[in-house]
Amino acid sequence: GDSVTQMEGPVTLSEEAFLTINCTYTATGYPSLFWYVQYPGEGLQLLLKATKADDKGSNKGFEATYRKETTSFHLEKGSVQVSDSAVYFCALRLYNFNKFYFGSGTKLNVKP
């Protein structure tokens, strides 16, 4: 079935370190892919998205490229900040279906 798998956390990095959070998916059809971020005490917020193969989503220094050949959508940031500490969720939505599949979330801790 359709699903999303992302790396388990927590991920602990020092400020200005490079971040990668892996996400792979299984889907029938052609999904759109998303990264959501959840800061403590808040709801999930859309961070970035990509709707077709080879698209790159980017926002706030974060990037992710839709790789159909490897069914992946890894999240990257070149230099993390303490304020990036949050839980990150990878998700997919099948074309024309009103339903999201989420990964289990990866907690990121950035130390000063």
Q: Applying CB under 8 A, which residues contact other proteins?
A: 4, 8, 32, 34, 36, 38, 41-46, 49, 89, 93, 98-105
Dist CA 87 CA 18 (whole Å): 17
Q: CB within 8 A of 18, min separation 6: which ones?
A: 76, 77, 78, 79, 80
Measured from the CB atom, the residue of 28 and 69 that comes closer to other proteins is: 28
Structure tokens at 109: 């801790």
Measured from the CB atom, the residue of 96 and 112 that comes closer to other proteins is: 96
Q: Minimum Å distance from CB 16 to other proteins?
A: 28
Structure tokens at 81: 């900040």
Report the length, in residues, of the chain. 112
Measured from the CB atom, the residue of 49 and 74 that comes closer to other proteins is: 49
